[in-house]
Amino acid sequence: MAEVVELVDAPIERVFAVLADGWSYAGWVVGASHIRDVDPDWPKPGARIHHSVGPWPLVVSDTTEVVSASRPREMELDARMWPLGSARIRFRLTDKGAGVTEVRMAEQVLSGPGSLVPDAVQDLLLVPRNRETLQRLADLARGRGDS
């Protein structure tokens, strides 16, 4: 399981607000290129983001579904991108005080060709991507301000 951690200069509620805004997904998830729709009850379990992944014209359209969410501490997602497969992604947020939030992101490939790749090789590919994803999430959380 590929895991990365980022300290974000923003309160935990503000960081979770970015996760809870399905329309912002393509702004911080590396590889997501377009949001086609977001279920109105996002981020409740079972709700989906309908997204496209990849550069045009090679985009793949699929969904990401909420498996569980506990505001403002945790969200678990099932991200799909067929024919490549699916992955389980868990975000854990911890209030570190003084307006700082620790965000821990863990990703495990569940199905498709990627699931056949050894974990160590998956980590080599996923860790840099997920580190950038958390840096983008942090930027959006800081940029939201107190509004």
pLDDT, tens digit, for every residue of 29-72?
A: 998 999 999 999 999 999 999 999 888 888 889 999 999 999 99
User: Are residues 80 and 64 in contact, defined by beta-carbon separation less than 8 angstroms?
Assistant: yes
Q: What's the rounded Cα separation, in Å, for the pair 122 and 98?
A: 35
CATH code at 2-30+66-143 = 3.30.530.20
Sign of CA dihedral 24, 20, 104, 53: negative
Where in the chain are the domains?
A: 2-30+66-143
Q: What's the rounded Cα separation, in Å, for the pair 127 and 141?
A: 21
Q: Which of 19-23, 112-116, 122-126 is predicted most confidently?
A: 19-23
